[in-house]
Chains A and B, each alone.
Chain A
């Protein structure tokens, strides 16, 4: 007979207010197999843990049930505690009587009854717990950072500075991301390029960092410590090993096409650097606009290049490398407002800009060398309307979330206009002004003092009247209709996850939230980890945020990576699936359902009667299996079983609840 100890936690008053802890303990004492039951104010605290350890000694307990908060909260804490005792750390069950009971109920009598049942289930399961032992896997001491925005750059630099090799992968021809496009950064108004380009250069020159620009991830296999990632380097048509970046080719190329970096506000040649400070500072050919590659004519760049770097026959190339850890730093994009807001003209009026276009417009190295003029006629605007929350906080048309940085950069944009064009009237339409951050409220105050006019309300319609953009809306504070005859409108649009994030996330088995941002493992306690071991998160790929938060997030992710790569091998969870070969019929249902591609069918030698036969059976890769249990539900025979959550244990729980 097992000797189970049951420990019921008050969690201060969190549990004790709604659950009669004494009654729960008394009823636990009556359960079969329970040798000891007790309660305490905070089980997770030092004295609480000591009490459990003492009880194990005194009563010779061989398994433990702790009725407390969610196992996601403290299961690891208690497992660690058991390491110092005779009890195997996996002979532990947590009955969640907080999140699943006291927090969601008010009726104390009924909540107590439920807590008693939850404990009964855990005791029934614990009786069938078996000792499990972690094994260890070697760790490849290299990290792959996907996305070369400020998040990716910061994470790569921190990991590299700690002495580990990093590959920084970026699908564009240069690293830099959005920050490289910005003019000044709030609240200090230091020039964005001045603080980001040195970091880009550092990343490019760091002996531990390998830049993989124009690259994309196409496939990944393996698991924490050992990811085999297949990468495609898109053809550049320029041999970067020889190219010095002299830039002659760019000046001679006859093609003019929209510049991505300037968001269509200017043109660039077909052979181009993303922007003058690009890292690597070498051009690539855009195969969609190059005359030689599309029509077979031209070939000018090949003629002018003094070093013979041009290679029109260059091809996409795939290669596979091994990494111990992965950092997602894929950033954000701006929502396509033109598709959503027909009432704002749907993109028909050239003098309506997005925030990023405006950043390029005010930027001294931008298309107008920093002069704020209307793209349509080159005139300076006298009246500018800035509209916030376009696509943010608008569940009907756009996204329900707040994009976090817009309140501040809208104030920045107003300030920049008032600074460069004194006397301009700047209206900012807002729902709320949110300025939580060091120096942020002061910055907003200053912008109002500068003369920005804040109008509380959404704009309902924007249309053209002569050369004016008429903005109709409501001032909800005055309860009046307002109409602004603007010369230029800046839309501060919502941040959305980068395109291609679904494929990338699916490849690594990483979850996304309802809005497709990458889901962190725990919103409070594990904000830079995903639920997939060895895959970490940096910056806006997890949700909208500004640069200070992005950089902090990235450094945190780097710290996690470094602590992983510092080990030469790591323990793996023993809670993985096992196949009972004699029952498995090789149907492959589990193989298809496994989200981590941990299962493959393999042929085994078997005997049927007197015959030697080969038959397929499922086999689980213990490094890949995350213990999600999907396969155990898919297997009709019950041939595949999750250690720690065996079918028999789940059935015991159900029986304890229902019978």
Chain B
């Protein structure tokens, strides 16, 4: 058992014993050795089931949306990406800081392509830090998917996205896991017909894909959970990366979820906005 895991179990146990939190969210083992699943610890002894290894990849913050009005604060382990997810949902007025007990765990990076573009391994918001922060290594190409698609011709891109969305089964797993997809009721769940329809057709799927990308848009925290959970393995970070790339090229460094105060770039109007496209 590694040191850090011991610290995490200890922290979870302490929190549960004190009765300050209703439950703590972390990671637990599954029947597959290389997979973990979210773990909801309610009793101090549940802390023994906590795992922390190279497979503790899934984002766990989104589960906070399932319990918006808890009687007691909810404990959550937060890495950099989880903390950005939490900032995201706080900025969107969905969760409240006072309902959270954030156990900060600086991450060492996991064996996953999406972790190579991570810009914040250390949590950006937390109540206590369980071990020392370490610098985040220089991230690899932040727009790796978008760049690949941008390099294609217009027809090539159309063919590419058509092929991608021909495979989409509209399970909405990407929507369910995404911390930016935090609406009370998602538009895809409301009955819709016409071009917003839900047939398994190329056009309906493409419209869904592009709408999802724009709804997430400038609020994407670049955690890549959408791709991780997609049962069809679709490379949909290419869409959100493209939007972020455009924003970054237009206005300079922009990142969502680094705090819970900064405005969403596309969500405000400012006289000093760059408007070279107008």
Q: Which residues from chain A sit less than 8 Å from chain B, CB to CB? A: 502, 506, 582-589, 592-593, 595, 601, 608, 611, 613, 615-616, 634, 636-639, 651-652, 654-655, 658-659
Contacts and interface: CB of A to CB of B under 8 A. Distances in A.
Interface string B172-204: 000000000011111100101111100000000
A585 B69 contact: no
The binding surface of chain B is classed by DSSP as loop
Contact of B268 (A586, A593, A616): A593
A636 to B, nearest CB: 5
Given A502-B271, A592-B263, A592-B267, A584 B184 contact: yes
B267 A636 contact: no
B187 A636 contact: yes
Contacts of B267: 589, 592-593, 634
Nearest to B192: A651
Contacts of A615: 68
B215 A636 contact: yes
A639 B187 CA distance: 9
B93 interface: yes
B183 A587 contact: yes
A593 B93 CA distance: 16
Contacts of A658: 195
A585 B94 CA distance: 7
Contacts of A588: 92-93
Interface string B236-278: 0000000000000000000000000001100111010000000
Contact of A585 (B183, B195, B196, B263): B183
B182 to A, nearest CB: 7
B69 A611 contact: yes
A225 to B, nearest CB: 26
B92 A593 contact: no
Interface residues of B, number: 24
A555 B249 CA distance: 49
Contact of B185 (A506, A637, A659): A637
A637 B195 contact: no
B103 to A, nearest CB: 26
A608 B68 contact: yes
Given A637-B185, A651-B196, A587 B93 contact: yes
Nearest to B92: A587
27 contacts: A584-B184, A585-B94, A585-B182, A587-B93, A587-B94, A587-B183, A588-B92, A588-B93, A592-B263, A592-B268, A593-B267, A593-B268, A593-B269, A608-B68, A608-B69, A613-B69, A615-B68, A616-B93, A636-B183, A636-B215, A637-B184, A637-B185, A637-B187, A651-B192, A651-B196, A654-B194, A658-B195
Contact of A583 (B184, B192, B196, B268): B184
Contacts of A639: 184-185
Interface string B52-78: 000000000000000011000000000
Nearest to B212: A636
The 4 closest A-B pairs by CB, nearest first: A585-B184, A655-B194, A637-B183, A636-B215
Nearest to A588: B93
A651 B195 contact: yes
Nearest to A614: B69
A616 B185 CA distance: 15
Contacts of B187: 636-638
B261 to A, nearest CB: 13
A658 B94 CA distance: 36
Contacts, number: 66
Contact of A586 (B93, B186, B215): B93
Contacts of B92: 585, 587-588
Given A593-B269, A636-B183, A636-B215, A585 B93 contact: yes
B275 to A, nearest CB: 11
Interface of B: 68-69, 92-94, 182-187, 190, 192-196, 215, 263-264, 267-269, 271
B195 A659 contact: yes
Contacts of B183: 585, 587, 636-637
B95 to A, nearest CB: 11
B2 to A, nearest CB: 39
Given A592-B263, A616-B93, A652-B194, 17 more contacts: A506-B271, A585-B93, A585-B182, A585-B183, A586-B94, A587-B92, A587-B93, A587-B182, A588-B92, A589-B267, A608-B69, A636-B183, A636-B215, A638-B187, A654-B195, A655-B195, A659-B195
Nearest to A505: B271
Nearest to A583: B185
A587 B260 CA distance: 13
A585 B65 CA distance: 12
Nearest to A503: B271
A654 B269 CA distance: 27
A636 B216 CA distance: 9
A590 to B, nearest CB: 10
Contacts of B94: 585-587
A300 B190 CA distance: 77
Contacts of B193: 655
A639 B185 CA distance: 9
Nearest to A612: B69
Nearest to A656: B194
B50 to A, nearest CB: 28
Q: Pick from B184, B192, B195, B263 the residue with the most CB of A within 10 Å.
A: B184
A497 to B, nearest CB: 14
B267 to A, nearest CB: 5
A601 B93 CA distance: 10
A587 B89 CA distance: 9
A595 B269 CA distance: 8
A57 B214 CA distance: 47
A651 B193 CA distance: 9
Given A595-B269, A611-B69, A613-B69, A638 B190 contact: yes
Contacts of A608: 68-69
A506 B271 CA distance: 9
B270 to A, nearest CB: 10
A656 to B, nearest CB: 9
Contacts of B185: 582-583, 585, 637, 639
Contacts of B269: 593, 595
Contacts of B182: 585, 587
A586 B184 CA distance: 9
B9 to A, nearest CB: 31
Contacts of A638: 187, 190
A66 B187 CA distance: 33
A515 B63 CA distance: 51
A616 B90 CA distance: 13
Nearest to B67: A608
Contacts of B184: 583-585, 637, 639
A638 B268 CA distance: 18
Contacts of A636: 183, 187, 215
A190 B94 CA distance: 68
A249 B268 CA distance: 51
Most buried by B among A586, A592, A636, A651: A636
